[in-house]
Chain A
């Protein structure tokens, strides 16, 4: 039984990072009908931003918080670790938003009125460009991630046979992911920007007739989606303490599958689909077939396209001429 709960915890933590990536996919798809293949690479860049920030400024950030909270340098407290992690995540989010801005501006906007297949090919090109120039710049071998939470002990419940281990990092990842999602939900449903985004995803022409600066809203959507991917990158880097330039492609595609599972274009659906996928993967690797784990997301994708193409929460939209 405790095994079961262990998988649930692992799955929720994994699902949280999928959800952050899936949100970017689903937002961009909702607004441009484009599968932004480069999104997984933005997530990779986020992880590397976090890595280099920690490597070069990590000690200073910790020192700063130690001073600010007036604790001794030898006492690495939980608060300092959490604050440092949040700082790194914010830095990474800002960097990724910038990357998202430039990708949209330089690669996607010039193609706004060309056939969709051209846009798709460009997206694939951008994705591969990041992967392989990443190998040139960062080197192709995996690099270890500094562990901010190394001094914190895991919470254990139960006795030897029924051991349940909760890593504080997993809790941190889960809580941060949920917080970011709630912020996003607020932005989409309760702000002017969010209303504009929903309008643009409904119809570009109509919303520009209503005076909404369509291009600016699309850029903003890209930036928000990219910043969430950046946060996910840092958190995955901390959880699986290795990062490499090709790390983004597979989780990126899986997150897209999760977005389709929940109903592409639907923000709540993306989160739901991601948690389902995270849990399913955790159970699959826990109960028997870990080697098949990577194929699971795509099998789910094909099945959902067969059974209910609009996804769990998606609404079927008929195409108008």
Chain B
């Protein structure tokens, strides 16, 4: 019974990615991250290292937004808002503790423990706000979620702007830089792993059914509102964690950092990579983070955020020409499989039959 629920790909013994769903590969990846953590900062220049860290944070954001926008088919535009909730909560906790208990924060192990705890609390705070925002708007059919989440981003900005405890308009500074390569990528792997497992679980099938046809899903007895709110709250959780990582990397938080453009950046990562493709989001997040830096000279030349002009044009042409994004709803594993099937036409039929076909564009 349990096997039936799992993705067929994961059980296909001829598939080199069959172990992808098993825990030990993920643990191995985490181990590799921590080994790299000790050598990478010296190996790379600080500039490229920073891009790498930001790419890792963007991977968390894009993959978690994909759960809402790609797999559930809802359109959230407030990811930066949840990011700021998580970031402010975790940064507030650590900055308060530095003042009251400096001995804890300066201890390597205890400090890291507090840091991870604050990230979790930030994530939970974001989840709660996500639940509050999601419940009224997700009950309704249609695009209300888009505008409510957009408005929520504005509300949260105004609230932080007026909140003296977190510095108001000046922002919150003096945050310790805890976000190392190791933490960022461990949490990125954790995000990808969790989203992967959720999408390939019974709960994930609920989300896909909502995306494909909400009315049919309701008719089959799926509680669509509950499914949507769960996906939304979970996406908010990871956005909050990413916000915490972001705060503890930049060491400063200001309300203006998390404006609509930030949400939009994450949206375009999801859309470009393919709504409904986790590996697509990862690839697009890395690609666009690098592109942002590559475009920096051009931006200094014109004095305008030229990147947004390019992004918006990419988005429009993408919707007109290839609405499914680079990967569509497929994963890198599927593409590799097809490519191998193309190389060895004998297996092609067998392999194709074992791949569950997913319907059309997201």
A interface list, Cβ under 8 A from B: 33-35, 107, 110-111, 114-122, 124-129, 131-133, 135-136, 140, 249-250, 253, 256-257, 260, 291-292, 294-295, 297-299, 301-302, 305-306, 309, 319, 321
Known A111-B319, A121-B75; judge A294-B140 contact (CB<8 A): no
B159 & A295 in contact (Cβ 8 Å cutoff): yes
- Tell me, in angstroms, the Cα distance from A298 to B77 when the chains sit together: 14
B154 touches A120 (CB 8 A): no
Whether A110 contacts B320 by the Cβ 8 Å rule is yes
Quick check: B136 and A121 within 8 Å, CB to CB?
no
Given contacts A107-B316, A249-B260, A294-B158, A117 and B151 within 8 Å (CB-CB):
no
Which of B1-9, B193-201, B246-254, B299-307 makes up part of the contact surface?
A: B299-307
Contact of A118 with B158 at beta-carbon distance under 8 Å, contacts A135-B304, A298-B151 already known: no
Which of B21-29, B108-116, B141-149, B228-236 lines the interface with chain A? B141-149
Q: Let me know if B151 and A302 touch, CB within 8 A.
A: yes
- Contacting residues of chain B (128-170) with chain A, CB-CB under 8 angstroms: 133, 136-137, 139-144, 146-148, 150-152, 154-155, 158-159, 161-162
Contact A140-B304, Cβ < 8 Å, known A295-B154, A298-B151: yes
Are A295 and B158 in contact (CB-based, < 8 A)? yes
Q: Is A115 touching B361 in the complex (CB atoms < 8 A)?
A: yes
B251 to chain A minimum Cβ distance, whole angstroms, is: 26
State A45–B180 Cα separation when bound (angstroms).
Answer: 45
The answer to whether B309 touches A133, judged by C-beta atoms less than 8 angstroms apart, is: yes
| Given A117-B75, A249-B260; A135-B305 close (CB under 8 Å) | yes
CB distance B315 to A124 under 8 Å?
Answer: yes
Given contacts A115-B362, A292-B158, A132 and B305 within 8 Å (CB-CB): yes
Question: Which chain B residues border A35 with CB–CB below 8 Å?
Answer: 143, 146-147
Residues of B within 8 A of A306 (CB): 136
Beta-carbon contact of B308 and A132 below 8 Å: yes
In Å, the complex CA distance between A122 and B143 comes to 13
Q: Does B188 contact A (CB under 8 A)?
A: no
Residues of B within 8 A of A250 (CB): 154
B190 at the interface (CB under 8 A from A): no
Residue contact B319 to A301, C-beta cutoff 8 Å: no
What B residues does A34 contact at CB under 8 A? 143
* A136–B315 CB distance below 8 A: no
What's the least CB distance linking B242 to chain A, in Å?
21
Alpha-carbon distance A9/B215, docked complex (angstroms): 47
Contact A132 B312 (CB under 8 A): yes
Nearest-neighbour CB distance to chain A for B128, whole angstroms, equals 15
Choice from B150, B158, B312, B320 contacting A253 with Cβ under 8 Å: B150
Q: Which of B162, B267, B315, B361 contacts A122 (CB 8 A)?
A: B315
B147–A295 touching, CB < 8 Å? no
Pairs of residues from A and B, 3 with the lowest C-beta to C-beta distance, nearest first: A298-B151, A125-B315, A128-B312
Give chain B nearest CB distance to A122 CB in angstroms.
4
User: Which chain B residue has the least Cβ–Cβ distance from A131?
Assistant: B308
Which residue of the partner chain, among B147, B158, B305, B312, contacts A256 with CB atoms under 8 Å? B147
The reply on B313 being an interface residue by CB < 8 A is: yes
Chain A neighbourhood of B144, CB < 8 A: 260, 305, 309
**B19 contacts the other chain (CB 8 A):** no
Other A-B contacts than A301-B151, A302-B152, 7 sampled, CB-CB below 8 A, are: A114-B319, A117-B275, A122-B319, A124-B77, A129-B313, A136-B304, A257-B147
Instruction: Find the A residue at minimum CB distance from B152.
Output: A298
Residues in A whose Cβ lies below 8 Å from that of B271: 121
Q: Are B146 and A120 in contact (CB under 8 A)?
A: yes
Name the CB-closest residue of A to B264: A128
Does B302 lie within 8 Å of A291, measured CB to CB?
A: no
* B150 adjacent to A116 (CB under 8 Å): no
Query: In the complex, how many angstroms separate the beta carbon of B137 from the nearest chain A beta carbon?
Result: 6
Q: Does B151 contact A121, Cβ atoms closer than 8 Å?
A: no
**Complex: A287 Cα to B146 Cα, angstroms:** 31
Tell me the bound Cα distance from A34 to B319 in angstroms: 15
B316 touches A125 (CB 8 A): yes
Residue of B nearest to A111 (CB): B319
A160 and B264 CA atoms in complex are apart in Å by 50
Which residues in B have their C-beta under 8 angstroms from that of A249? 260
Q: Are A302 and B137 in touch, CB under 8 angstroms? A: yes
- Contact B161–A291 (Cβ < 8 Å): yes
A305 proximity list for chain B (CB < 8 A): 136-137, 140, 144, 148
Most buried by A among B140, B142, B361: B142
